[in-house]
Chain A
Amino acid sequence: MSFLNVKRRFSPWILGTVFFLVLGFSACVDREFDEPPVGDLTEIEANTTIAQLSSRFTPGQDPVQITENVVIKGVVIADDKSGNFYKQIVVQDNTGGIVVRMNSTGLFGQFPIGKEVFVSCNGLYLSDYNGVIQLNGSAADGIEELLISRHVFAGPGTQTITPKKVTIDQLNNSLMSTLIQLDGVQFKDGSAGVSYADAAKKLSKNLDVTDCSGKTVVLRTSGFADFAAQLTPTQNGSLVAVYSVFGTTKQLYIRDVNDVKMADVRCTIGSGGGGNPGGTTTPVDTLNETFSSEKNNDPIVKNGWTTVATTGTRVWIGKLFSGNTYAQATAFSDTNTDMESWMISPPIGLKTNKILNFESAMAFYVHDGLSVWISTNYDGKNPKTATWTPLNGKLAGKTSGDNTFVASGDIPLAATGGNVHIGFKYVGNKATNTTTYRIDNVRVRKG
């Protein structure tokens, strides 16, 4: 066979070929990777305490740029993991604490609570946000993401910071941006058993925390916090938080709900004032509810009124338009599929006949979603366990003008001898039944 002859004659070629092929096929393309080592930070050392740094700035003055080698070292006491702190961490050392703002998310990945960090402040700015001193990358903005690695360094170690136990009285500027603990406190009536913030609308909320002597402090929570929809405890106990101010208002921020440990018996404090979600408000004889004390976009809570979602999470909320506040419910762009939500009056004494009237309005009509009910056995908590009887009255509907209040007309309430609750029920779903309903000027007078 001719090939064999060829091979004999060109054996150097063949050998060369084999050698060449072996060489080629064994050439290495490296694709194995080691895990990168933990960052080495021997180069950096702190030369300034946080108190010294903060003393360079007086709240209210213009931002000050640091133009020399100033390095602080501290431990992260708050990060952005839960979302209650956003684009910032709070760092504390033995002398104080400071907010370090960075224009990025996921900061907790690199600077989790307990992490030792160094901040090289050269080029950064000191400023304040309504009294809270912070480190920024520019006069008004956090350190840009790509510049973080130039200024903020995670150390190798971690530390657990023990919060300083104080009383509400003792809260003052020396505790600014540090971790504190209040013992024997509880959420005040109206702030207890409600959500920490408005998760649906991503709105922050201020709640009152009180001690048994009635002293209060504001606990502020962001609507972006992943625990925003959780309800505050109704019992008494301890609260760990980062101390802060908003102008002259002292306020606290928790990192997450593990900072709230309230399982003891609630103490009774003088007169609560305001509403009570427990529905134990003293019965009223007459009613003239204009909802003007409700807060825009917050659930209806004042004057003994309550709102409860029996399907989904949407409740009736206060809405402010052209100076008028009213109550509103809608399933439009609800995050849940279905919505059923009650707004319930304080107990009304019905020893004699009385007359109810109110005004309703609707917008973006697609369905009839509003109904009005009365119950004699509502327990103040769960509308589903109560017996409800429908009430007749003119309601805003298909033919009504958008956002035009329609008077219900007088609705007689026959005497029962006991207390009753009036309930406004909204039923909808986000796919098709999304009409918005509003209620205002609910009046009960003697009949």
Chain B
Amino acid sequence: MNLSQFFLLWGIFLGGVSLSAQTSFQVRGKVIDQASGVGIPGVEVRLLTTTFFTGPEGDIDFQAVLPSDGKLVITLTKPGYQEKEVVFEGKGKLSFNLGTIQLVSTEGSGQVNSEDLIPVITLSTNELEGEGEQNISSLLTASNDVFISSASFNFSAARFRLRGYDGQYADVYFNGVPVNDLENGFPNWNLWGGLNDVVRSRQTSIGLAANPFAFGGVGGATALDTRASSQRKQLRVSYALSNRTYRNRIMGTYSTGVLPGGWAFSVSGSRRWAEEGYVPGTVYDAWSYFISADKLFGTTHTLNITAFGAPVTRGRAGVSTQEMNDFAGTNFYNPNWGYQNGEVRNSRIANSHEPVVILRHDWTPTERTRLTTAVSYQFGRDGATAIDWYDARDPRPDYYRKLPSYIENEQKDLVAELLSTDENARQIDWAYMYEVNRNSIATILNADGMEGNTVTGKRAQYVIEDRRFDTRRANANINVEHNLSDRLRVSGGINYQLQKVRNFKVLEDLLGADFYLDIDKFAEFDFAGDTEFIQNDLDVQNKLVQEGETFGYDYATLTSKAGAWGQFEITTNHFDFFASAQGAQTEFWRESNLRNGKFPDNSATVSEKASFFDYGVKGGATFKLDGRNYFILNASFQNQAPLPRNGFVSPRTRDQFVGDLQQEQITSVEGGYLLRAPYAKIRLVGYYTEFANQTTAQSFYLDNAIATEEGFEGGFVNYIMTGITTRHMGLELGAEVALGAAWRVRGAASLGEFIYTSRPDVSVYLDNLAEVLRQEKVYIKNFYVPNLPQTAGTIGLSYNSPKFWFANLNVNYFDNIWIDFNPERRTNAAVSFVENPLFPSQVVEPGSELWQKILYQEKAPSAYTVDFFGGKSWKVGDNLFLYLNVGVNNLLDKKDFVIGGYEQYRFDYAEKNVDKFPNRYFYGYGRNYYVSLAFRI
């Protein structure tokens, strides 16, 4: 169905709606925590199809339309509490007092809590290098929705992403300000990692539903509310033991609730740590802190300040070839670490600490109107270390040239034996790097840019560098919600964001040497003898870099975004309609003070600004057959500016934009059915989404970068792909059926087809050259979006004992996981004769086995896993609760579950031997567990 057809249908839908007046009905009441008796703010109160929220003290006060049968079915939901449904007879009344309604905490009751979600995969935004860590959709958080909670708890270990969308397509708001990074689009959930206690309160929508706080991405939106006045009054301390990314976690939270005088305070902190996580060599040390204070001025003004941060240091897991995994005897072999003086040292340490301060003002001048103003500032550091080397052998222990698969003489067996018996042979040899640096006595002429300055010393051949991408971002956001009448609500807002990401390298460790020389080794190889060309800093030539100093590159990408949105929602007896629109002006540019020897004229510049006006419209209708059966139809169209991350050819060296930068067009339609009954909940949604005209920019070493008379030469290239279109369609099913009071069956399934539907154009640029090296077509039409299960299903049985314990067992199924592909292997050159690149002629016979092996995309085998989750709670005295929770994922210890992988960018163009550079795979963790013990007062 195309868009115009959809709107036509929608119009017919609208025309059939009667807007006849209904009796309005006043409802009052109060929602309290069963255990503490304290009012719970922010509880979603749903009457038929109308939704309200409780006030700061948990009070209910709203006007509603009385259903025709006079029966009030009210559903109360709040994350962290069990959903409750209450039925009142309202016939003939004009107002109704619900009295006090108690909600029961889900702690110890068999529901999955957000604090129990110890991630199996580490969330991260800036590690898109395909090295074993990847984003999972931000919407994967504990929720009352069966589908979402299943996806988060049972699917996330397989890197499931809702509808196959990237994280950038779901918007996240934190206390009213958007937190998606402007450069890469992703919401960085690491910012508040470890603060699970205080980020429980959230509103989540998936897909195209209307949101009261924002237009939302095509994947949906989440609003986290961590204000002190929204926090449950409690002291909570917990300890968790796990074998996932960390071993230990302690967490403490104290919230006062709203105190006399209108103040509310909340503090929280945690530490998560491990000498080694599930994967060998992955040290983990993460802290977090949070403070929030509210001051209520009467009932109309609330002022809040919230500050938080999470200093995280952790060793990263890498992914290697099956050959190395087999030598190591584990699919979790990690090539990133090695022993230094007998201690495990990881060469790739991620280290981030990005504090955020948010100031927010809420004003409710009337009962019908709420105006939220929020400003925020984020700063700090983010980055990860890596080994850099100059004129020395590749230090990676799984470098292909030294492995048995590459060796063609009788030493092959000796090397194989060594690799399978000696752990040191499989890991980084730190002592070797120190030894080489100690031996490396060099004399540098004209050092540090000074003519005649001759320095002799140990010139590092190996160093540890810290690749930084420090982000500073300021946000200002104003949001208004106003109920024009009981049936008509308008909302909207304006916002402005400015972000600066400084990308640079800092020398972390000289590994025993005296200095590192700041030159471009790739440029030196190609242009030996040109002493200016090879300089990374033309103004300080032959710079001797010391630990803590910046080198290599240093530039910032700046992005500004100013936007506005508005939304109408109409509620009638049987239909809800909404229509929203947004517009935003995005500009991004590059700034640098570093004059690069390769591009002296366009490196130390303030670039032009790439400027885009984005707009989006969406609308939808919900047909409410009754209070239990809902039919939904939504559609949207959006334009989206290319991400700054993909906007530059080679931002490390110059201010050159990708040619003909274009906006992405996102078209999406979804429709479905919802059943919300006390005994059963069903959600069935189908969707169809197209992301057209996407642009990506990647950098890597390419074997056939440069065509020469003799054949091909390798080079460090920037690989720009434009005109990428993907189509995501599928079905989402979530169902929960109660079997008596104690037993429940829950199931969820996601059946998707996420494929590329275009043949993108590629432009290859060398880091060293401004001109495009070559342009070509990539034949990837009908390839699958890689590294996520396109089919996922789970079915679970849970038992909830009245004696305060519960147990839950799920069986999960994953299929259609496709391996990420090397686009260069889908070009003419990959199947052609390469001796004379000017005259490519087909040599691989179309359709032959080799042809298929080169071109076809690999699919990982399907897999089953089993998860267990259970717990028990105790009440001690009047106020103290103890909770014990145990979760075991992958109970059957399946260790060969391929959850993704990638083809290497190296390819044997001459021999067409696909196995020369084999694929690398990510494996899901084997049996993994956590046990947490918490007490709450």
Residues on A facing B (Cβ under 8 Å): 2-3, 6, 9-10, 13, 17, 20-21, 24-25, 27, 29-31, 33-39, 81, 103-106, 108-110, 112, 115, 123, 137-141, 143-147, 150, 154, 199, 201, 226, 229, 330, 332-333, 335, 364, 431
* Contact, CB under 8 Å: B436 / A110: yes
* Contact, CB under 8 Å: A38 / B407: no
> Cβ of A108: which chain B residues have Cβ within 8 Å of it?
439
Closest CB in chain A relative to B521 CB, distance in Å:
12
Closest CB in chain B relative to A48 CB, distance in Å:
22
- Report the 4 A-B pairs with minimum CB-CB distance, sorted nearest first: A109-B436, A24-B250, A106-B393, A145-B402
| In the assembled complex, B273 has its CB within 8 A of some CB on chain A | yes
Contacts A29-B273, A112-B439, A115-B439 given; indicate if A139 touches B434 (C-beta within 8 A): no
Contacts A10-B880, A106-B436, A112-B439 given; indicate if A33 touches B526 (C-beta within 8 A): no
Contacts A33-B343, A106-B391, A364-B838 given; indicate if A145 touches B285 (C-beta within 8 A): no
The docked-state distance in angstroms from the alpha carbon of A336 to that of B879 is 80
> Cβ of A115: which chain B residues have Cβ within 8 Å of it?
439
> Cβ of A139: which chain B residues have Cβ within 8 Å of it?
409-410
Interface centre among A13, A33, A109, A154 (most CB of B within 10 A): A109
Within 8 A of A (CB), among B677-694: none
Q: Which of A13, A39, A141 contacts B411 (CB 8 A)?
A: A141
Contacts A24-B271, A29-B274 given; indicate if A13 touches B341 (C-beta within 8 A): no
The docked-state distance in angstroms from the alpha carbon of A69 to that of B418 is 20
Q: Which of A2, A140, A147, A332 contacts B415 (CB 8 A)?
A: A147
> Cβ of B285: which chain A residues have Cβ within 8 Å of it?
29, 31
Whose C-beta in chain B lies nearest to the C-beta of A65? B410
Whose C-beta in chain A lies nearest to the C-beta of B432? A110
Q: What are 17 A-B contacts with C-beta separation under 8 Å?
A: A3-B937, A13-B937, A20-B250, A24-B239, A25-B250, A29-B274, A38-B435, A112-B439, A123-B414, A139-B410, A144-B411, A144-B414, A145-B401, A146-B419, A154-B439, A199-B528, A364-B838
> Cβ of A2: which chain B residues have Cβ within 8 Å of it?
879
The docked-state distance in angstroms from the alpha carbon of A311 to that of B804 is 86
> Cβ of B419: which chain A residues have Cβ within 8 Å of it?
146
| In the assembled complex, B730 has its CB within 8 A of some CB on chain A | no
* Contact, CB under 8 Å: A104 / B393: yes
Closest CB in chain A relative to B717 CB, distance in Å:
16
Within 8 A of A (CB), among B379-422: 391-393, 401-402, 407-411, 414-415, 418-419
* Contact, CB under 8 Å: B237 / A10: no
> Cβ of A24: which chain B residues have Cβ within 8 Å of it?
239, 248, 250, 271
* Contact, CB under 8 Å: A226 / B880: no
Q: Which of A17, A109, A138 contacts B393 (CB 8 A)?
A: A109
Contacts A27-B273, A109-B439 given; indicate if A146 touches B415 (C-beta within 8 A): yes
Interface centre among A17, A31, A364 (most CB of B within 10 A): A31
* Contact, CB under 8 Å: A13 / B409: no
Closest CB in chain B relative to A53 CB, distance in Å:
20
Contacts A39-B435, A109-B393, A229-B528 given; indicate if A17 touches B341 (C-beta within 8 A): no
Q: Which of B313, B340, B440 contacts A109 (CB 8 A)?
A: B440
The docked-state distance in angstroms from the alpha carbon of A323 to that of B512 is 57
Whose C-beta in chain A lies nearest to the C-beta of B439? A112
Residues on B facing A (Cβ under 8 Å): 235, 237, 239, 248, 250, 252, 256, 271, 273-275, 283-285, 287, 313, 340-341, 343, 345, 349, 391-393, 401-402, 407-411, 414-415, 418-419, 425, 430-432, 434-436, 438-440, 461, 511-512, 526-529, 706-710, 771, 838, 877, 879-880, 935, 937
Q: Which of A39, A104, A138, A226 contacts B528 (CB 8 A)?
A: A226
Contacts A3-B235, A137-B409, A333-B706 given; indicate if A35 touches B512 (C-beta within 8 A): yes
> Cβ of A20: which chain B residues have Cβ within 8 Å of it?
237, 239, 250
* Contact, CB under 8 Å: B436 / A146: no
The docked-state distance in angstroms from the alpha carbon of A108 to that of B432 is 12
Whose C-beta in chain B lies nearest to the C-beta of A26? B271
Contacts A17-B237, A33-B345, A139-B410 given; indicate if A38 touches B393 (C-beta within 8 A): no
Whose C-beta in chain A lies nearest to the C-beta of B393? A106
Q: Which of A9, A330, A364 contacts B877 (CB 8 A)?
A: A9
* Contact, CB under 8 Å: A17 / B252: yes
* Contact, CB under 8 Å: B434 / A36: yes
> Cβ of B256: which chain A residues have Cβ within 8 Å of it?
3
* Contact, CB under 8 Å: B402 / A104: yes
Contacts A21-B252, A35-B512 given; indicate if A144 touches B402 (C-beta within 8 A): yes
Closest CB in chain B relative to A184 CB, distance in Å:
29
> Cβ of A335: which chain B residues have Cβ within 8 Å of it?
526-527
The docked-state distance in angstroms from the alpha carbon of A13 to that of B273 is 24
Closest CB in chain B relative to A18 CB, distance in Å:
9
* Contact, CB under 8 Å: B431 / A39: yes
* Contact, CB under 8 Å: A154 / B435: yes
The docked-state distance in angstroms from the alpha carbon of A199 to that of B526 is 11
* Contact, CB under 8 Å: A431 / B771: yes
The docked-state distance in angstroms from the alpha carbon of A316 to that of B693 is 48
> Cβ of B880: which chain A residues have Cβ within 8 Å of it?
6, 10, 13
* Contact, CB under 8 Å: A21 / B237: yes
> Cβ of A364: which chain B residues have Cβ within 8 Å of it?
838
* Contact, CB under 8 Å: B414 / A147: yes
Q: Which of B414, B431, B529 contacts A229 (CB 8 A)?
A: B529
The docked-state distance in angstroms from the alpha carbon of A25 to that of B252 is 11
> Cβ of A81: which chain B residues have Cβ within 8 Å of it?
391
* Contact, CB under 8 Å: A10 / B937: yes
Closest CB in chain B relative to A443 CB, distance in Å:
29
Closest CB in chain A relative to B411 CB, distance in Å:
5
Whose C-beta in chain A lies nearest to the C-beta of B346? A31
> Cβ of B343: which chain A residues have Cβ within 8 Å of it?
30, 33
> Cβ of B528: which chain A residues have Cβ within 8 Å of it?
199, 226, 229
> Cβ of A106: which chain B residues have Cβ within 8 Å of it?
391-393, 436, 461
> Can you name 5 extra interface pairs (CB under 8 A) apart from A29-B285, A109-B439, A110-B436?
A2-B879, A13-B935, A24-B250, A30-B275, A106-B436
Closest CB in chain B relative to A121 CB, distance in Å:
15
The docked-state distance in angstroms from the alpha carbon of A123 to that of B391 is 30
Closest CB in chain B relative to A32 CB, distance in Å:
9
> Cβ of A38: which chain B residues have Cβ within 8 Å of it?
435, 438
* Contact, CB under 8 Å: B393 / A105: yes
Interface centre among B248, B393, B880 (most CB of A within 10 A): B393
* Contact, CB under 8 Å: B239 / A29: no
The docked-state distance in angstroms from the alpha carbon of A21 to that of B879 is 21
The docked-state distance in angstroms from the alpha carbon of A81 to that of B392 is 9
Whose C-beta in chain A lies nearest to the C-beta of B249? A24
> Cβ of B425: which chain A residues have Cβ within 8 Å of it?
146
Closest CB in chain B relative to A436 CB, distance in Å:
9
The docked-state distance in angstroms from the alpha carbon of A364 to that of B838 is 9
> Cβ of B439: which chain A residues have Cβ within 8 Å of it?
108-110, 112, 115, 154
* Contact, CB under 8 Å: A138 / B410: yes
The docked-state distance in angstroms from the alpha carbon of A9 to that of B250 is 23
* Contact, CB under 8 Å: A144 / B248: no
Q: Which of B392, B401, B708 contacts A333 (CB 8 A)?
A: B708
The docked-state distance in angstroms from the alpha carbon of A25 to that of B512 is 32
The docked-state distance in angstroms from the alpha carbon of A37 to that of B341 is 8
Whose C-beta in chain B lies nearest to the C-beta of A9? B877
The docked-state distance in angstroms from the alpha carbon of A39 to that of B343 is 17
Closest CB in chain A relative to B390 CB, distance in Å:
10
The docked-state distance in angstroms from the alpha carbon of A108 to that of B409 is 24
> Cβ of B235: which chain A residues have Cβ within 8 Å of it?
3, 6
Contacts A21-B252, A110-B435, A147-B418 given; indicate if A31 touches B283 (C-beta within 8 A): yes
> Cβ of A137: which chain B residues have Cβ within 8 Å of it?
409, 411
Q: Which of A25, A33, A35 contacts B271 (CB 8 A)?
A: A25
The docked-state distance in angstroms from the alpha carbon of A33 to that of B511 is 10
> Cβ of B710: which chain A residues have Cβ within 8 Å of it?
201
Contacts A27-B273, A138-B410, A146-B415 given; indicate if A34 touches B340 (C-beta within 8 A): yes
> Cβ of A105: which chain B residues have Cβ within 8 Å of it?
393
> Cβ of B461: which chain A residues have Cβ within 8 Å of it?
106, 109
* Contact, CB under 8 Å: B252 / A144: no
